[in-house]
Amino acid sequence: MAVVACRLVVSGRVQGVGFRHATLEAARALGVAGWVRNLPDGTVEAFAQGASAEVERFVAWCRHGPPLARVDGVEVGDAAVDADCTRFDWKLGSEL
């Protein structure tokens, strides 16, 4: 299986609505590794890697998010695969 990776920045009403927690659950259900975190500008950033089909499904999920979110946009860019990243989790560092 070829592994692909991408970085996403999700904008809209995505903080304070359970977006990170729901993202973690969606990624784990899809078998995608990576991380998610809030950024100071009100967006949510995620890194995802795995099989192409699962990563595509994850990106599609991020385009709508959980029920209380309002996603206005998702920027998706290619990223380098991280061999040390084996599960999906929270990432600390830019948390509010």
Q: One of 7, 13, 20, 57 is an active-site residue; which one?
A: 20
What's the Cα-to-Cα distance from 37 to each of 1, 46, 52, rounded to whole Å?
Answer: 27, 6, 22
Is 20 noted as a catalytic residue in this protein? yes
13 is catalytic: no
Q: CA quadruple 96, 18, 29, 79: dihedral positive or negative?
A: negative
Counting beta carbons within 10 angstroms of the beta carbon of residue 10, is it exposed (0 to 12), middle (13 to 18) or buried (19 or more)? buried
Residue 46: name the closest of 86, 5, 84, 3 by CA. 5
Which of 38, 57, 70, 87 is an active site residue? 38
Tell me the catalytic residues: 20, 38
